[in-house]
Structure 1
Amino acid sequence: MALGILEQVGLAATLIFALPVAVYGIQTIIDGGTVFGALALAIAVLMVVLPRRLTSPDDVPAKAAETAVGAVVNGSDGTDGSDGDGET
């Protein structure tokens, strides 16, 4: 699945916050705190995965517009099978 420019920027912003949490989780696991380390790793993964999987109320109009534009562009490309000279 290809990401658009805005989606890439959003993912980068999410990773800025998720990577330190993941590093903390790994260090905590190495130091012997498996429960808190695993919890930190799970939170870091959820920080990245949930925004990509869940639909927020702000996403609904954008997805509806994307579907409508896709239907219009794919459905009416200006060709109806004739070459425009009146002969069939």
Structure 2
Amino acid sequence: MAGIIDTIKLAGTLVLALPAALAGLEFLLVRGETAVGAVLIGLAIGLVLVQHRLTLPSDVPTAVAKRVVGTVRKDPDDADDR
């Protein structure tokens, strides 16, 4: 499940990607310049994919903390069986 920080990062990326995608659609559909439109749409898609897959050095402590919490945390059902 994505956290609030991941949602904010995605929104920030979409702020940059959506205008490029809309400009690409305009070039592609309205002006008839398929090469420029396809490049802009490809860049917008690439920006979102890179943001989603890329791990920055500042993201490493968060990833480690998520793994540690998932390992240490016990399910409430296991505690009730005792």
TM-score bracket relative to the smaller structure: 0.7 to 0.9
Q: CA deviation at 1:38?
A: 0.4
The CA distance in 2 between the partners of 1:17 and 1:50, in whole Å, is: 13
Aligned runs of 1:47-66 on 2, under 5 Å? 47-66=47-66
Q: AA paired with 2:26?
A: Q
Any unmatched runs of 5+ in structure 1?
A: 83-88
What does residue 4 of structure 1 align with? 3
Q: AA paired with 1:12?
A: A
Q: AA paired with 1:14?
A: T
Q: AA paired with 2:42?
A: A
Alpha-carbon RMSD across the aligned residues, in angstroms, is 2.1
Q: Based on CA coordinates, which of the two structures has the bigger radius of gyration?
A: 1
Divergent runs of 4+, >3 A = none
The CA distance in 2 between the partners of 1:74 and 1:51, in whole Å, is: 32
> Aligned with 2:57: secondary structure?
coil
Higher RCO, 1 vs 2 (CA within 8 Å, ≥6 residues apart): 2
Over residues 41-76 of structure 1, what are the superposed CA-to-partner deviations in whole Å (9 max), with x where a residue is unaligned? 00111111111111111112211111111111138x
Aligned runs of 1:1-88 on 2, under 5 Å? 2-30=1-29, 31-74=31-74, 79=79, 82=82
Q: Report the identity percentage.
A: 36
In the superposition, the TM-score normalised over structure 2's length comes to 0.81
Bigger mean CA deviation after superposition, 32-41 or 54-63: 54-63
